[in-house]
Amino acid sequence: VQLVQSGADVKKPGASVKVSCKASGYTFTNNGINWVRQVPGQGLEWMGWIGTYSGNTNYAQKFQGRVTMTTDTSTTTAYMELRSLRSDDTAVYYCARDSPDSSDWGTFDIWGQGTVVTVSS
Amino acid sequence: QSALTQPRSVSGSPGQSVIISCTGTSSDVGDYKSVSWYQHHPDKAPKLLIFGVSKRPSGVPDRFSGSQSGNTASLTISGLQAEDEADYYCCLYAGGYTFVIFGGGTQLTVL
């Protein structure tokens, strides 16, 4: 069971970035996928969730209007696109699977390796 | 949006025990029995240690335990080992427009 994310990316302010997260080793549509980021020197920050079966999404208020989470069930891949990038979006972005052992929000049992996104002019 | 307060740092010697607290409000920690804890080593992915306040995923040593009293959840690490040196985060469902929040994180130093 693993989540493998796309490689590091460098973007200019105002651009968009799309990070992928490929799942393997389990039935992709059984568990939702969350996106969490860590800005350098700061803590973990939940960005949102997508139901891999329904396609339903819940976004943290902070990112509403700037983020879109999608999935492609044919390739068992989840995507997170963040638009209108600013320098303070420079961070490591993680995808994380909802644990099958809990129905509680915030329980993530498998994490991707992280994708470094740098926003710089 | 509620905030979860953790001590910025804690420390202990090998073999000792440490407790990391996570304080919220009656609207989050006190209301939902759904606190989880994560261990995060630099340049690695976070690891789930505890969920549902006190449950351990398979493979997590029983040196790690969770509890809750009122609006404060706690992670206890017993028999400290050098590899326990990491950042620790509490996490829970906060409702409202944010759904999920993390505490600010606690840096554990093993002396």
Q: DSSP string of chain B?
A: ----B--SEEEE-TT--EEEEEE--TTTTTT-S--EEEEE-TTS--EEEEBTTTB--TTS-TTEEEEEETTEEEEEE-S--GGG-EEEEEEEEEETTTEEEE---EEEEE-
Contacts of A58 in chain B (CB under 8 A): 99
B102 closest CB neighbour out of A43, A62, A99? A43
Which pLDDT belongs to residue B2?
Answer: 52
Check if B41 contacts A (Cβ < 8 Å): no
| Nearest chain A residue (CA) to B51 | A107
pLDDT digits (tens, 9 = 90+) for B2-26: 588 999 999 999 999 999 999 987 6
In the predicted model, what is the mean pLDDT of residues B88-94?
Answer: 91
CA distance A93 to chain B (A): 10
A113 closest CB neighbour out of B45, B91, B104? B45
Which pLDDT belongs to residue A23?
Answer: 98
Q: Do A106 and B98 touch (CB under 8 A)?
A: no
Q: Do A105 and B55 touch (CB under 8 A)?
A: no
In the predicted model, what is the mean pLDDT of residues B20-42?
Answer: 84
Look at residue B1 and tell me whether its pLDDT is greater than 50. no
Q: Do A45 and B103 touch (CB under 8 A)?
A: no
Lowest mean pLDDT among B46-50, B94-98, B100-104: B94-98
Segments of chain A scoring below 70 in pLDDT: none
In the predicted model, what is the mean pLDDT of residues B66-79?
Answer: 93
Q: Mutate which of A33, A107, A109, A115 to test chain B, going by most B C-beta atoms within 10 A?
A: A107
Which pLDDT belongs to residue A65?
Answer: 96
Look at residue B33 and tell me whether its pLDDT is greater than 80. no
Distance (Å, rounded) from C-alpha B82 to C-alpha B91? 24
pLDDT digits (tens, 9 = 90+) for B100-109: 999 999 999 9
Which pLDDT belongs to residue B99?
Answer: 83
| Nearest chain A residue (CA) to B34 | A104
Residues 6+ apart with CB under 8 A from B87: A43, B39, B40, B41, B42, B105, B106, B107, B108
